[in-house]
Amino acid sequence: MNFSPLQTNLVLTDGQKSTFFTRRLLMSLSLLMSGVVLLSMLMVVGIAWRQNESSIRQESLLLHNGWKDRRQDLMKNIRDYAFWGEAWNHLHLNVDTDWAYDQQNLGPGLFSEFHYEGVFVVDGEGRTRYSVINGQLSDLPVESWLGTHAAPLVRQARALLKQESATSTNMMIGSTPAIVAAAPITTGKVPGLKTRAGMPSVLIFIDRLTPEKLRDFGAAIGVANARVPGSLQDAFITPFINEEVADSTPVVIRWDSDQPGRNLLLILLPMLFAAAVILGLVARRVVNHAMHNAMLCDQRFLLLMHSQRELAASEARFRDVAETASDWIWETNAQGILIYLSERFTAVTGYDVEQLLGKSIDDLLQHDTQPVSGWIFQQREEHHRQTLRCYSVSAGGETRICTLVTKVVEGNGQIAGYRGTVSDVTKEVEDQARIHYLSQHDALTGLPNRLYMSEFLLGRLQAHPTAERPLVLISLDLDNFKPINDTWGHAAGDSVLNEVSLRLRSVLKAGDLVSRQGGDEFIVIVSDLANEQEINNCCRALLNEICRPFYLGQQEIFIGASMGIALAPKDAMQAEELLRLADIALYKSKREGRNRWTWYSPEMAEHLVLRREMERGLRKAIVGNELRLYYQPRYGLKNARLDGAEALIRWEHPDKGLIMPDKFIGLAEETGLIVEISDWVLTRACTDALTWPEAMYVSVNISPVEFRSGNLAKRVAEALARSGLAAGRLELEITENITLENPQSALEVMQQLKKLGVKLTVDDFGAGHASLGYLKTFPFDGMKMDRSYMNDFPHCSQAASIVEGIIGLGKAFALTVTAEGVETREQLQELQAIACQEGQGYYLGRPMPLERFSLLLNEPVTLGIRKQPV
Ligand code: C2E
Ligand code: CA
Ligand code: CA
């Protein structure tokens, strides 16, 4: 057992109390028990001791009295012999040994019968006249036994003559205790006996208690092993008695006490000890058991506390959840009568909880086809979560859609009731409907989107359209829509798109579909047009609607549309294929000048095939070295000097001969081949320019696609490095459209290019739709006026003033202005007149192979350029 020391200021946790108090109680009990056992042992020892004491007292008394009796016997016997006339005659008047010893009057009989070891007769002069020792006649004097004590004793006995009395004393003779009695010899009762002068004779008897005699003496009175002590120390060991002795060694007798107490101890102590041990063992078991129980009790208490805390936490959790959840919690009895509603109920429904408790759950929740309680009663499976979509009317009269979840409450194997939650899912349901709608409709125009259209088209195709009643699919793309966004902003573009969708819808009948595919592309699906005429009428109506002016505030805007038509089952019966064919037809409309509709025909697909062939050929051309660079000279008009040349690509097709860039650059851009082509052009142009005079530059056309591909600056740097041309001699021609698409990234690329040291020029200035603001923002060095401005120049004064205006604008932005498409002498002269810095055109020089251009370098500049007046 492990008792911890008691501490007065002990702080006990709940899980220690029982153990502690049990331990304390058990310790007290154990102490008490030990005390009782010890006390009883002490008492037993005490009783034993007292018994021993009283036994010794009694034995002492016995011994003492026995001794006294023996002494008195001796006295009595000596008197009988001393106060006797015969003794007077035969021992005093005359010592008659014959009478005394031989006739056995005072002879051996005293020893054999009375065990008197010494018998002496001392005469009036103090001489020993008769002595019998151990029954044998002897001539030893009494002094040989009594020493110096003999004389006083004799004297004392003589003094007793008159009283006729005897005296006795205790004495140690050697190491033997003895009782010595002495008496004067008198005539006794016998009258008339002779006398003798002098002192009377004295008779002395000595009863010497030899060890055997002493032991027998003790035994006779019930005292064991009576003996003379062996030493002085022994003389003082209890039990002993000390018989009084005058002026001599004391007579001490020791014996073995009966010691009844010892027996008591011998019997009781082992029994008590055994009892204590048994008690201890039992106590140990009891304590262990009790401690174990106490510990169990504490553990259970702790567990109980713990589970109580858990329960409290769980209750709090439930309460918090019930109060904070958007759902409310309900419980009914087995009959569907509400017996609990969480606090949240009021917040959600507006009703008071008290108002509804005791009412049927049907008063609260409704379902279209069955009473809610009926549904609840059907729920049996205990662990299965059942849900029911139902509705309730809030206190405010609003109908809310709810999801009811229920669970059976069981008690004693029977259904005690039902409980569950109700979630208000009105918003989710509405949101879902909205999401569904949004997923199928275009957010801007509200028209069905691509997804909806696909499903619709599939549905229509599954209805098996016939040649008489074909399914008409029209792919419609707005023309000139992009400039609206660019010029008027996206809000304007959005409102135009909305208006377009309204107008398209107005043309169609119910059951037809117009969907927005994204951007300015639409798909129209019409089903009950009987013939080509009707289809054409429909397309015309659509086009007319779109060609009507749109109004942005006061502004009148015109756009157009291109359409492509594909029919099912004539052209295809698969949705994807039908869409693709309509797109092919649309593509043709676009190419053929827009604002028209085109019926799909198989030749169009053939055209596409040709395109694909061309793509393959172009790939081969790149690796097969079929590309050529032509150089068109660019002149400084002020000094009539050849400043540089524009590199223009040609494809020397093995079969088709020289193919112009207009025919394949677009395709290269679409397929991404342009990057590889441009790399070749850049390197070739830079390498070629190295052979020209150092003052001359080469300009290279860069496609907008390359701006998007992300590594233009790196590629240009590599071309420069490969060729070794100084960056300042390379000019890049970029159309203004790149400033529209992603102005920020375009600006970054241009800044990187500027860092390399190359020049940047706006190509075909005025042909695109960019606003003029970009001239300020983007780091251009020059602008090339689109060659269309030369059409009516210089004879038309309006054209002349526009050209003049552009040149002025370029100068205002510190840009070198190059007039492109100079075809006549007048144009050249007029451009010189209005101080256009550079010119390029057939009149000045057509694009030519490098060899021809190299010849040009050495020719004097004629070409009719006149020097400008300084
Ligand atoms: P561009 O950059 O505007 O190039 C000038 C075009 O106008 C060239 O046609 C040129 O032959 C033509 N031209 C020059 N002077 C006159 C003239 O006085 N009157 C008329 N009517 N035309 C003139 P080309 O070589 O067919 O190039 C067409 C377009 O192809 C170029 O237009 C350019 O945008 C593109 N292109 C040419 N080479 C490359 C190239 O290496 N890379 C890229 N990305 N595009 C190129
Ligand atoms: Ca160009
Ligand atoms: Ca140009």
Looking at the predicted structure, is the pLDDT value of residue 162 above 60? yes
Using a 6 Å cutoff on CB, does residue 737 contact ligand 1?
no
In ligand 1, which atom is closest to the CA atom of 822? 18
Mean per-residue pLDDT, 300-326: 85
246 vs 418, higher pLDDT: 418
Residue 10 binned pLDDT confidence (cut-offs 50, 70, 90): low
Using a 6 Å cutoff on CB, does residue 818 contact ligand 1?
no
Non-local (6+) Cβ contacts of 830 within 8 A are 793, 794, 800
Using a 6 Å cutoff on CB, does residue 841 contact ligand 1?
yes
350 vs 691, higher pLDDT: 691
What's residue 865's pLDDT?
53
Residue 867 binned pLDDT confidence (cut-offs 50, 70, 90): very low
In ligand 1, which atom is closest to the CA atom of 733? 2
Please write the tens of the pLDDT for every residue from 608-666: 788 888 889 999 999 999 999 999 999 999 988 999 999 999 999 999 999 999 999 98
58-256 and 326-430: identical CATH topology: yes
638 CA to centre of ligand 2 in angstroms: 21
Using a 6 Å cutoff on CB, does residue 521 contact ligand 1?
no
Looking at the predicted structure, is the pLDDT value of residue 295 above 60? yes
Q: Which ligand is nearest to the CA of 785?
A: 3
Percentage of the chain beyond pLDDT 90 is 46
Residue 273 binned pLDDT confidence (cut-offs 50, 70, 90): confident
Task: Lowest mean pLDDT of 235-239, 507-511, 759-763, name the range.
Answer: 235-239
Using a 6 Å cutoff on CB, does residue 828 contact ligand 1?
no
Q: Which ligand is nearest to the CA of 681?
A: 1
Mean per-residue pLDDT, 545-552: 92
Task: Lowest mean pLDDT of 733-737, 850-854, 863-867, name the range.
Answer: 863-867
Please write the tens of the pLDDT for every residue from 561-598: 999 999 989 999 999 999 999 999 998 898 777 789 99
Q: Which residue from 701, 702, 828 has its CB within 8 A of the most atoms of ligand 1, so it is best to mutate? A: 701
Looking at the predicted structure, is the pLDDT value of residue 526 above 70? yes
In ligand 1, which atom is closest to the CA atom of 649? 38
Please write the tens of the pLDDT for every residue from 647-658: 999 999 999 999
Using a 6 Å cutoff on CB, does residue 167 contact ligand 1?
no
- Among 863, 772, 765, 869, which residue's Cα sits nearest to residue 813? 772
Surrounding residues of ion ligand 2, Cβ less than 5 A: 701, 733, 763
CA quadruple 285, 286, 292, 295: dihedral sign: negative
In ligand 1, which atom is closest to the CA atom of 702? 44
In ligand 1, which atom is closest to the CA atom of 648? 38
What's residue 3's pLDDT?
44
The identity of residue 835, as a single letter, is A
Please write the tens of the pLDDT for every residue from 355-369: 889 999 999 899 989
Mean per-residue pLDDT, 793-817: 94
What's residue 757's pLDDT?
96
What's residue 866's pLDDT?
43
Looking at the predicted structure, is the pLDDT value of residue 227 above 80? yes
> Which residue, chain included where needed, has tokens 């192979």?
849
Using a 6 Å cutoff on CB, does residue 790 contact ligand 1?
no
Whose CA is closest to atom 23 on ligand 1? 821
Task: Lowest mean pLDDT of 426-430, 689-693, 795-799, name the range.
Answer: 426-430
Which range, 18-22, 49-53, 238-242, 512-516, is most confident? 512-516
What's residue 785's pLDDT?
95
Percentage of the chain beyond pLDDT 70 is 96
Distance (Å, rounded) from C-alpha 827 to C-alpha 599?
Answer: 44
- Specify the CATH superfamily of domain 448-600: Reverse transcriptase/Diguanylate cyclase domain (3.30.70.270)
Distance (Å, rounded) from C-alpha 716 to C-alpha 709?
Answer: 13
- What is the domain partition of the chain in residue ranges? 58-256, 326-430, 448-600, 628-856
What's residue 863's pLDDT?
58
Q: Which residue from 635, 648, 843 has its CB within 8 A of the most atoms of ligand 1, so it is best to mutate? A: 648
Mean per-residue pLDDT, 2-26: 68
Please write the tens of the pLDDT for every residue from 115-153: 899 999 999 888 999 999 999 999 899 999 888 888 899
- Structurally, at CATH architecture level, domain 628-856 sits in Alpha-Beta Barrel (3.20)
Using a 6 Å cutoff on CB, does residue 763 contact ligand 1?
yes
Distance (Å, rounded) from C-alpha 705 to C-alpha 647?
Answer: 18
Task: Lowest mean pLDDT of 298-302, 681-685, 766-770, name the range.
Answer: 766-770
- Three-state secondary structure of 22-57: HHHHHHHHHHHHHHHHHHHHHHHHHHHHHHHHHHHH
Q: How far, rounded to the nearest angstrom, does the alpha carbon of residue 352 sit from its chain's CA centroid?
A: 42
- What kind of fold does domain 326-430 have according to CATH? Beta-Lactamase (3.30.450)
Average pLDDT, the chain: 88
Cis ω on the peptide bond leading into residue 569 (within 30° of 0)? yes
Instruction: Provide the phi-psi class of 526: left if phi over 0, else alpha when psi is between -120 and 50, else beta.
Output: beta
Q: Which ligand is nearest to the CA of 847?
A: 1
User: In the numeric block, which tokens belong to residue 674?
Assistant: 């342009």
What's residue 672's pLDDT?
85
What are 689's strand-pairing partners? none
Looking at the predicted structure, is the pLDDT value of residue 732 above 90? yes
User: CB 396: neighbour CB atoms within 10 A?
Assistant: 8
What's residue 636's pLDDT?
94
763 CA to centre of ligand 3 in angstroms: 5
Distance (Å, rounded) from C-alpha 247 to C-alpha 238?
Answer: 24
Q: What are the backbone angles phi and psi of residue 760, rounded to the nearest 5°?
A: -125, 135
Q: Was domain 58-256 assigned CATH 3.30.450.220? A: yes
Residue 744 binned pLDDT confidence (cut-offs 50, 70, 90): confident
Using a 6 Å cutoff on CB, does residue 649 contact ligand 1?
yes
Q: Which ligand is nearest to the CA of 845?
A: 1
Using a 6 Å cutoff on CB, does residue 517 contact ligand 1?
no
